[in-house]
Amino acid sequence: MEQLTFLPSSLFRSAFLEIQEAILPKQIPGRAKLELAITLDDTGIGVRDLANYLRLIDGVYGRLDPKGYRSYAQRENAYLRIDEVRSGSMEVILSELLATTERAVPLLVLYVMLKYLPEFLKSLASAYKDFEEARHTRLRRKQLSDTIHADKELQSVSKGSKQHLIEFLDDMYASEASNLRGARRIAELHLKELILRVVPGREATKES
């Protein structure tokens, strides 16, 4: 995975290359898949809240499509698909071949976006309609900055790339503001675990 040309600017591409190196192993088996596992406590989970959470995921994934969000929305074969839902606590599995950069790296972006979502939401209070106000932007980005700079998983990532990550995430969250209220209840009350892992081809959840 090298040319992240579907990200919106060269600065964001550079930042995610650093993040990729920090999170993913350097040696990756051939035909390996990148797997994002989202584990939810499904006790009393609201159907509408879950739908908003999944729409948030789909919306961010669609905005990373190389042909753009509008094109993504019109191409059913490009839609993000759930590979598996495991029993017990609800575990949603998404996976893509690592060799297919334009489809695999968005899972890395989704992992980061979902990981920092709970802390981001703390900065919103009930002001979902105030994304454009400068004071709310500063507050949101300060909350994200504190969380990201304290994250040991990103300790090898440069300060500049972390700043670009903060800007990128804030823009992505703002673009999906309509889904945040329902997504908030999932992120704060039902999210148990979020794992990004590399799975050898023979163990992956689906065959390519």
User: What does the pLDDT look like over 103-126, one tens digit per residue?
Assistant: 677 888 999 999 999 888 877 654
Residue 2 covered by a domain: no
For residue 172, what pLDDT is reported? 87
User: What does the pLDDT look like over 134-166, one tens digit per residue?
Assistant: 567 787 888 899 999 999 999 999 999 999 999
Total number of domains constituting the chain: 1
Residue 4 covered by a domain: no
- CA 162 – CA 21 distance, rounded (Å): 13
Nearest Cα to Cα of residue 109 among 59, 70, 53: 59
Residue 113 covered by a domain: yes
Record the tokens describing residue 50, joined without a space: 């879950």
Residue 207 covered by a domain: no
State pTM to two decimals: 0.83
If one counts every other C-beta atom within 10 angstroms of the C-beta of residue 154, the result is 19
Residue 77 covered by a domain: yes
User: What does the pLDDT look like over 14-51, one tens digit per residue?
Assistant: 888 889 889 988 777 777 888 999 999 988 889 999 99
- What value does the mean pLDDT of the chain take? 82
Residue 5 covered by a domain: no
Domain that holds residue 85: 10-202
For residue 56, what pLDDT is reported? 94
More confident residue, 123 or 92: 92
Residue 171 covered by a domain: yes
Residue 1 covered by a domain: no
- CA 52 – CA 60 distance, rounded (Å): 12
Do residues 122 and 110 make contact, with C-beta atoms less than 8 angstroms apart? no
Nearest Cα to Cα of residue 92 among 104, 103, 84: 84
Q: At what angle do helices 101-122 and 134-149 cross, to 10 degrees?
A: 110
Please, which residues have CB within 8 angstroms of residue 164's CB and are 6 or more apart in sequence?
Answer: 11, 12, 14, 15
Nearest Cα to Cα of residue 173 among 104, 116, 105, 94: 116
Q: Which of the listed ranges 2-16, 112-126, 183-197 does the model predict with the highest average pLDDT?
A: 183-197
